[in-house]
Amino acid sequence: MKFENKVCVITGGALGIGRCLTQEFARLGAKVAFVDMDEKAGKENLELIRSAGGEALFFHGDIAEEQTLRDFVQEVVSTYGKVDYLINNACLSKGGILSACSYADFNYVLQVGVTAPYFLSLLLLPHFNAGASIVNIASTRAFQSQADTESYTAAKGGISALTHALAASLAGRVRVNAISPGWIDTGAYHDPTYTPNFDPADLLQHPVKRIGHPLDIVRAVMFLCSEENSFINGQNLIVDGGMTKLMIYHGDQGWSYKPENADK
């Protein structure tokens, strides 16, 4: 896949999967514009990209705010003109009902995880090149949950639905797909001295016998962005090592379920 001189816009690009996305697209010749509210990490990543010979633009701001989105798009367009890819990666969690996630906090997560991707798509629509692609980073948590995750889960469910809605609306203009990561170990893209330390069971519960790496998501994003795969539209690609397809019951695979409140 070739990305030379393509313009790639990424939200939440300072750390984690976003940092890996920015660095890999830049490494393959794309011009990367990313936004993040972590100014220190964003500037650090910008320097890492440029020191490796890549071209990038970093915009500091909170994408929950409309003006941040407008200002970011204005800077992207004034710098690069047209855009080829929009990768809506940014999201966060504010907990859920068991931790009394507030009205404001719940809506803040939705603003970052659903409203911002919609509005960026709207603002960038006049500036997309032919063959452009939007890739939304959803999550397997859109389909299954742990307790007290309502804010994040709702946002990921929302962006999953937004994906097929945008694909229908933008048919013939921009392809829109999503990726739902499972367990991805982003430690190395937060701390360069990071060393993984997993229990063997963490690996074995994945049918591929390992935990995901940010590059697993990056390669999937690039696959969906590539015009060679232009017949793929409105889809949600699950990248989780098969974990969500593995059914395990109590007493199966040496696993036992011991709920804390079973005797109460």
The 10s digit of each residue's pLDDT in 65-104 is 999 999 999 999 999 999 999 999 999 999 999 999 999 9
Instruction: Work out the pLDDT band at 263, boundaries 50, 70, 90.
Output: low
- 249 is an active site residue: no
What pLDDT sits at residue 40? Answer: 98
Decide if 59 is inside a domain.
Answer: yes
Residue type, 143: F
Closest to 15 (Cα-Cα) out of 34, 39, 42? 42
The contacts of residue 52 (CB under 8 Å, 6+ apart) are: 23, 26, 27
Q: Rounded mean pLDDT of the chain? A: 95
Whole-model pTM: value is: 0.95
Decide if 257 is inside a domain.
Answer: no
Decide if 157 is inside a domain.
Answer: yes
Q: What is the pLDDT of residues 187-219, one digit of tens each?
A: 999 999 999 999 988 898 899 999 999 999 999
The terminus-to-terminus CA distance of the chain in angstroms comes to 57
pLDDT above 70 as % of the chain? 98
Decide if 261 is inside a domain.
Answer: no
Decide if 80 is inside a domain.
Answer: yes
pLDDT above 90 as % of the chain? 90
Given a cut of 70, is residue 250 above it in pLDDT? yes
Decide if 112 is inside a domain.
Answer: yes
Given a cut of 90, is residue 249 above it in pLDDT? no
Domain range holding 140?
Answer: 7-245
What pLDDT sits at residue 262? Answer: 58
> What's the average model confidence in pLDDT over 114-129?
98
Instruction: Work out the pLDDT band at 261, boundaries 50, 70, 90.
Output: low
Decide if 253 is inside a domain.
Answer: no
> What's the average model confidence in pLDDT over 38-50?
98
Number of structural domains in the chain: 1
Name the active-site residue from 80, 85, 108, 152.
Answer: 152
- For residue 138, the domain's CATH number is 3.40.50.720
